[in-house]
Amino acid sequence: MSIADNLAGVRRRIDEACAAADRDPAEVRLLPVSKTKSPAVIREAYDAGVRLFGENKVQEAVAKAEVFADLPDLRWAAIGHLQTNKAKLVAAVAAEFHALDSLRVAEALSRRLRDLDRTLDVFVQVNSSAEESKFGLAPSDVPSFARELERFDALKVRGLMTLAVFTDDSDLVGRCFARMRDLQALLQDTDAHPERWGELSMGMSGDYELAISYGATTVRVGQAIFGDRLNPNDYWPVR
């Protein structure tokens, strides 16, 4: 199966999930996640029409952005946890950042963005499964965090992001997504700027259809498009 075939298959399943949930497919955006994949693979996806790619490691995104500097319409979404010392890189290369979960990172990004005279679309990461190992804010901490974010003009808040618990038990996964849907509704009811909370970035290869049934507006899909991440033929940077 080519990447174009895989993309078409995922898009078809998104359309079907939207139909089942009585949602308009135009509300759901597919964000292909190209982490660990080589520039040749990314080029194939670009030729199949992909213009925005998700990467979870900042250095890898920067290296790939350099490879594709001649394609100005190719954009990068930083989707992984960020340390403040790499905020400068995200501010320089990313069109979107999906893992905002601290004021320190907000401050660091904001300062770097102001230096560059740029803005950045950001998603607040929520730990919807309450697992110790997961990044993100506890749902109950999000409303006050949202108020603090108002002072960072360069950060354009678009909504919430989460990684659901990793399990085959769809009841448990659905509970994570339901928490996100409820939190979004709370923010849209109570936040001073309810228009900031239109996006829900949730759902990956194993659970994007379920995420759509709970209101996902951006699904971040890697392996279902690019194949498994351990394939030595397209792993990058070469180990």
**Helix 3-20 and helix 39-47, axial crossing angle in degrees, nearest 10:** 60
Distance of closest approach, residue 54 Cβ to ligand PLP, in angstroms? 6
Instruction: Using the minimum distance from each CB to ligand PLP, give the nearer residue, 174 or 191.
Output: 174
Q: Which is nearer to ligand PLP, 18 or 60 (CB)?
A: 60
Closer by beta carbon to ligand PLP, 39 or else 111? 39
Q: Say whether residue 28 binds ligand PLP (CB under 6 A).
A: no
**Rounded CA separation 121/222 (Å):** 21
Does 79 participate in binding ligand PLP (rule CB under 6 A)? Answer: yes
Among 80, 139, 159, 215, binds ligand PLP (CB under 6 A): 80
Interface with ligand PLP: number of residues (CB under 6 A): 13
| Cα angle 60, 63, 69; round to 5 | 135
CA distance 50 to 43: 9
Q: Which is nearer to ligand PLP, 146 or 219 (CB)?
A: 219
Residues 165-224 that bind ligand PLP (CB under 6 A): 204-205, 220-224
Say which residues have a Cβ less than 8 Å from residue 150's Cβ, sequence separation at least 6: 192, 193
Residues contacting 149, CB < 8 A, separation 6+: 100, 106, 124, 155, 157
The nearest distance, CB 19 to ligand PLP, in angstroms, is: 22
Closest C-alpha among 117, 113, 107 to residue 94: 113
- For residues 143 and 174, which CB has a smaller minimum distance to ligand PLP in the complex? 174
Of positions 33, 41, 106, 211, contacts ligand PLP by CB under 6 A? 33
**C-alpha distances in angstroms, 146 versus 15, 54, 226?**
32, 24, 35
Residues that bind ligand PLP (CB under 6 A): 33, 35, 56, 79-80, 163, 204-205, 220-224
